[in-house]
Amino acid sequence: MDRIKIIGGEQLNGIIPISGAKNAALPLMIASLLTDDVLTLEDVPHLADVEQLIRILGNHGVDYSVNGRREHQDGVYSRTVHFTARNIVTTTAPYDLVAKMRASFWVIGPLLAREGEATVSLPGGCAIGTRPVDFILDGLRALGADITIDNGYVHARAPKGLKGAEYHFPKVTVGGTHVMLMAASLAKGETVLRNAACEPEVVNLAECLNDMGAQITGAGTPEIRIKGAKSLSGARVRVIPDRIETGTYAMAVAMTGGDVLLKGADPRQLEVVLQTLRQTGTQIEEEAEGIRIRRNSNAITPVDISTEPFPGFPTDLQAQFMGLMTRANGTAKITETVFENRFMHVQELARLGARISLSGQTATIEGVERLKGAQVMATDLRASVALVIAGLAAEGETTVNRVYHLDRGFERLEEKLSACGANIERISG
């Protein structure tokens, strides 16, 4: 099993190109099930989760091809992928595929809308707390679907098609908003979603669906209106830059010091995060090519945060920010409001010398003068990269085990960091 070895203490200087967003690419790929035309996606990242979803879509009869694969001067590839669901060969998504990635459950929306039925295994994914699909199922019921659950599978039927309706999400849910957008795009009449997620990835999907022939207004606000179409066509859509990758590398530079241009990053996606980093003493400049991150030898100022749905501080950057705060000059508090079990990285950071105490959903981090390298274990996707950030500043050697979590969400992480001066390498086997 692969692992990452880091010798800490090196500053980061150079350029890190930001890849297409995983959290945008996955729903865009699933949207290919809504049409028998070709859906072309540009800047699709090469990640384990993307490859897994390609296998899942292939189970339903989606063909794909990759072209326009061009190597930039910085050595990172940009992929253009064409998806074609000319014929849906099965409306069943089996356990052995869905259990590996939670987002794959979202196929239930387009399959039900296009074929009138779907049988989908209840999902798996990161062990970061319960993420019930109840809101998704209630939303589909509001559109007229008949839904039952039996032997771990959700059986959804709408033989006469879905019908537009009003649905108020009891809690903001990005996945639920994605599914309802896709399902309502082929429903008869108008659907109104209230308390919808406002994330940039939701806007990316809505713009894609509009290009395919749906009529969606309000994406990026809590109220979205969708006028369904009888059928949808193909489209060509660019995956937005990955704001979580952007924030992660920004925190890595804040941790180590140095000067890095995050090429292709969009500051509009990360206003709260960038403002928070400025409060830590990090210099941030918006440039034509992206975002420049600088930090000199000044101490890291502690900052308290609370995770919130967009535009608040994202839960997917909580672990990375905790890694940064382990070296702060003082005490910081982090409150996790989105997932109830997303502090599993705490005990691993402690192995590096971090001082962190937990009380309910709040972590109190007492900054230390130095971290020391150790063997650590990745517990989930974002926790794994938090350990990398800490390892970059730790004295001596840090080894991060179970890095398959990293490969799910970070494209060529060790190559990008190494190109900026980090002493980091992947060890296979």
Active site residues: 126
194 is in an annotated binding site: no
2 is in an annotated binding site: no
Q: 115 near 138, Cβ under 8 Å?
A: no
338 is in an annotated binding site: yes
102 is in an annotated binding site: yes
Q: How far apart are CA 421 and CA 416, in angstroms?
A: 9
- Residue among 153, 213, 136 at smallest CA distance from 145: 136
Residues annotated within a binding site for UDP-N-acetyl-alpha-D-glucosamine: 102, 316, 338
Residues annotated within a binding site: 22-23, 102, 316, 338
Residues annotated within a binding site for phosphoenolpyruvate: 22-23
